[in-house]
Structure 1
Amino acid sequence: MQKSFLGVHFLQNPNDAITIAEILYEQDIDLIIETGTYRGGAALFFASIMYQYRYDANKKLIRPFKIITMDINPEAAQYINRFTLLAPYILFIPQSSASSVARSIINETFFEMRPANVFISLDGDHYAEAVYNELVYYEQYIANISNYILVQDTRLSRKWHSLYCGQSKYDGPCNGPQEAVNWFLKNEGHDRFKIDLTKEYLFSTHHNGWLKRVA
């Protein structure tokens, strides 16, 4: 059965989706950076949640917020643009997360917004090297202590997925997201980020992937 949100393919486990929504609301997140848009279901979900809590009923205005999301497949634009209420808050970049174009746009948007709280979701290329490089680069945008980077689909290593398990130069038997997390926490992320198991609620497809900034 294919899961969807607003009729758009939504590749999130429902339990994890609610946990993300809880973080967005509790931390009053005003900027999300997402790698791996696919068709935009997650970006639309994020925007719908943020629209609710960023609305100031007293002033009858929306406090600024933005979802920056990127994917090498351009098809997400057609799905996102169906929703005229939410689309203005979603900046879709049809580029790789490693591209200079995407990074330039993100950097410019970040310094224009000066966000108070940022949530980063890494759900693009799941090979360890790609995820590790995203962690090293994008962690600079975590604006506040207690904000999160979510490394999605660490389950690929646990399941010994044929695409991601085999020889690895990283810390673990596989070559997927979990190994990237392990290596990052032993190196660049050491002392700055910790795994937050409280966000797993007994089950998560992102086990050990909820990285909370602690310093």
Structure 2
Amino acid sequence: MIMNKSDDSKLAAIASSFLTASIEPKYSYNYSWLGRPIIQYPQDMVAMQELIWKVQPDLIIETGIAHGGSLIFSASILELNAICGGCQDAEVLGLDIDIRAHNREAIEAHPMFKRISMIQGSSIAPEVIEQVKAKAAGKQKILVCLDSNHTHDHVLAELEAYAPLTSVGSYCVVFDTVIEDLPDDMFGDRPWGVGNNPKTAVWEYLKAHPEFEIDKSIQHKLLITVAPDGYLKRVY
């Protein structure tokens, strides 16, 4: 039986302290997946593996590409799903406003690129949204991950555009909701901070979208996660 680790107040406090202390030294930059920097905490990587196996999506939509580690990660788990009898042609679609040439070259040279496609442009631009909807047409199980610009308005616009593509029983995962829980002076010249971030966008979106619920069992299990209140399950 999986225990709710948040019930252990001592462990939860230690996990919270570690997470806060690890942000400034860029702890998440320590990790790569199959050779590409992924810029994620290991706990969230494991959680995503569990969701991809559970949902068995035939399409994963990801906003924010950076070095491509997350695309490679998702594609590799879809490859394992296929080996184990899952969807044979499942794929990942990545969106980014600026796909750097060296990152694109490395992603396209990777063996997992066979399951990856990319669109360069703002994730909230109408023409990009239409391309994504066209890609999603006919797909049976879709999982969405939002991890680009972290301002409230941008993430809310992404939610309005892409959360509806999430299939029932699947998830729309909003990363970096933890910004709301961190000291406001940690973000320097970033355009986001306390009161203006992915978590505030999630809270706003859920007011009008009861088809989604926060799956708190995930954050309670992980304790260390950049996505508290960000694992959104579509329930109908």
TM range (shorter): 0.7 to 0.9
Pick the aligned partner of 2:178 from 148, 151, 155: 155
State yes or no: 1:3 paired with 2:35.
no
Amino acid of the residue matched to residue 33 of structure 2? F
Q: Secondary structure at the match of 1:54?
A: helix
Residues 1-150 of structure 1 aligned to structure 2 (within 5 Å): 2-55=30-83, 63-75=88-100, 76-83=103-110, 85-111=111-137, 114-143=138-167, 145-150=168-173
CA distance in 2, matches of 1:74, 1:154: 23
Q: Contact (CA 8 Å) 1:3, 1:11: kept in 2 or not?
A: yes
Q: Secondary structure at the match of 1:184?
A: helix
CA distance in 2, matches of 1:29, 1:108: 17
5+ long unaligned stretches in structure 1: 166-172
Q: How far off its partner does 1:115 sit?
A: 1.8
Q: Secondary structure at the match of 1:53?
A: helix
**Structure 1 length as normaliser, TM-score?**
0.86
Amino acid of the residue matched to residue 162 of structure 2? Y
Amino acid of the residue matched to residue 83 of structure 2? Y
User: What is residue 234 of structure 2 aligned with on the other side?
Assistant: 213
Q: How far off its partner does 1:7 sit?
A: 2.2
Aligned residues: 199
The 1:79–1:186 alpha-carbon spacing in structure 2 relative to 1, beyond 3 Å, is same
Query: Of the two structures, which has the highest relative contact order with CA contacts closer than 8 Å and spacing of 6 or more?
Result: 2
The 1:62–1:207 alpha-carbon spacing in structure 2 relative to 1, beyond 3 Å, is closer
Q: How far off its partner does 1:96 sit?
A: 1.1
Q: How far off its partner does 1:192 sit?
A: 0.6
User: What is residue 178 of structure 1 aligned with on the other side?
Assistant: 199
Q: How far off its partner does 1:62 sit?
A: 6.5
CA distance in 2, matches of 1:136, 1:106: 13
User: Which range is displaced more, 36-45 or 91-100?
Assistant: 91-100
Q: Contact (CA 8 Å) 2:58, 2:87: kept in 1 or not?
A: no
Amino acid of the residue matched to residue 158 of structure 1? D
State yes or no: 1:197 paired with 2:216.
yes
5+ long unaligned stretches in structure 2: 1-28
Q: Which runs of 4+ in 1 moved over 6 A?
A: none
Q: Secondary structure at the match of 1:86?
A: helix
Q: Contact (CA 8 Å) 1:120, 1:150: kept in 2 or not?
A: yes
Structure with greater proportional helix content: 2
Q: How far off its partner does 1:55 sit?
A: 3.0
Q: How far off its partner does 1:27 sit?
A: 1.3
CA RMSD across the alignment: 1.7
The 1:56–1:9 alpha-carbon spacing in structure 2 relative to 1, beyond 3 Å, is closer
**Structure 2 length as normaliser, TM-score?**
0.79
Q: How far off its partner does 1:2 sit?
A: 2.6
User: What is residue 170 of structure 1 aligned with on the other side?
Assistant: none
The 1:56–1:16 alpha-carbon spacing in structure 2 relative to 1, beyond 3 Å, is closer
Q: Write the deviation string for residues 17-53 of structure 1: whole angstroms up to 9, x where unpaired.
A: 1110111011111110000111110000100110111
Q: How far off its partner does 1:77 sit?
A: 1.4
Q: Contact (CA 8 Å) 1:56, 1:63: kept in 2 or not?
A: no
CA distance in 1, matches of 2:212, 2:126: 26
CA distance in 1, matches of 2:119, 2:34: 21
